Amino acid sequence: MAVIVKMPQLGESIVEGTVARWLKAPGDRVDKFEPLLEISTDKIDTEVPSPATGIILEIIAPEGKTVNVGSVLAHIGEVGEQVDLASAGGPRTAQAMPEIITHNAIQNGTAAATAKPVGREFVSPVVARMAAEHQLDLAAISGTGAGGRVTKQDVLAYLERGRPTNDQRPTTNGGEVQAPTPVVKPQLSVMDLREDVAEISSPALGPDEVLSPLSTMRRAIAQHMVQSKQTSPHVVSIFEVDMTAVVQHREASKQALADKGINLTYTPYFVAAAATALRTVPDVNSRFSDAGILLNRRVHIGVAVALDQGLIVPVIRDADEKNLQGLARAVNQLAAQARQGKLAPDALRGGTFTITNHGVGGSLLGTPIINQPQAAILGVGAIVKRPVVRSSTKSLLPSADDALVIRPMCYLSFSFDHRILDGARADQFLTIIKQTLENWDRSEG
């Protein structure tokens, strides 16, 4: 019996993925555990190994298709072997699976010539579902899509206008025509919307414009950022930190760590300082719920890593239990794995606080958006030499004791959820980070 290849569970919080690339074609032989296809999710890209040895009989989910965990991707078996449709989730229709490519089609040379339905012949899954739910005759609906295709918006507009007279049913008294039944708009899921991407008309492009489709990661980032701004009332507090002690410690320590294969950057110092502050001000290591504030007992700090296609946030677990060397090693490993696309899916889950070091690109000051459902995020600006006034007195009036000195300075921006934290508590948190960095212990390592 043919083996069913299903979309795997790539992580606790990952519920769907997009088929990025098939590494095998129908008719190809594949060995068990050999890479079969690449899956792209909103958090990670990864290869999916073959669950069996055999011939690729058919590919169910084509490249670019977004599918739920557990969905059928392909079938593997031997030539002529039949697929058990019952175990594969029941019979498939051309409408539900419009791009099935089979081994026989490849052998007959028909796969490339198979044309997709176009114009009014094409009906997207969302439109078909809406038509069935409301018992609509799509032939009676004017289509505004390409080639006269009926789109989701066409169906919604038709329902809002009400059915035409010849669609209404007469009553038995006096031949009066019944009023149209009130129409309730269907509730569409995220998958419905993604299935209906074909319904979105391309914007009118100017002669010098080019449309770049959203990647899975970029779309997820956009949705997550909008959701965060809509969920949390963001407030930002900004502190300035003298990094002299940290710079001196790094200069004295980086070669010893380099001999161990560890690149000591400034990021581990900020992680260590944040971990100390999270232990002292636990409100920041929490999340909001209608029942109350949920405090996290463990400190898992996510560190944003910039990729060509977007941003990813791997998590350093129990960051408060690691010394500087351990944090530096963790930052190195997670950043390298993220850029090489080798992060384990679980490396992206469970963060309780996030740090984004936007200063690596030269940015002095930023106002980062909270990584939901966390309470806050710390933005780290570039470390630059600036003139600073130092004085032996606390008076703000000019004094003969004042001195102008050059110091490596850095701005820290702290975006927090005002439902959880007030300004005084947020400033207490930042003060601890500032004091930790400015009084860095040279013996720390």
Query: Considering only CA atoms, which of 43, 56, 62 is closest in space to residue 3?
Result: 56
| 25 φ/ψ angles, rounded to the nearest 5 degrees | -115, 160
CA dist., res. 127 & res. 150, Å (int): 8
Active-site residue flag, 103: no
| 237 φ/ψ angles, rounded to the nearest 5 degrees | -115, 140
Residue 177 in tokens = 């025509």
CA dist., res. 432 & res. 320, Å (int): 14
- Which is the catalytic residue, given 28, 422, 427, 441? 422
Contact 201, 145 (CB under 8 A): yes
Helix axes 244-258, 267-280, angle to 10 degrees: 120
- Which is the catalytic residue, given 84, 318, 402, 418? 418
Active-site residue flag, 422: yes
Query: Considering only CA atoms, which of 202, 201, 198, 214 is closest in space to residue 127?
Result: 198
The 3-state DSSP class for residue 347 equals helix
CA dist., res. 164 & res. 158, Å (int): 9
CA dist., res. 58 & res. 106, Å (int): 10
CA dist., res. 32 & res. 416, Å (int): 48
Q: What is the CA radius of gyration of the chain?
A: 29
Q: Which residues does 254 contact at the CB level (< 8 Å), separation at least 6?
A: 263, 264
Question: Residue 285 class from Cβ within 10 Å (0-12 exposed, 13-18 middle, 19+ buried)?
Answer: buried
- DSSP one-letter string for 400-421: TT-EEEEEEEEEEEEEEETTT-
Active-site annotation, residues:
418, 422
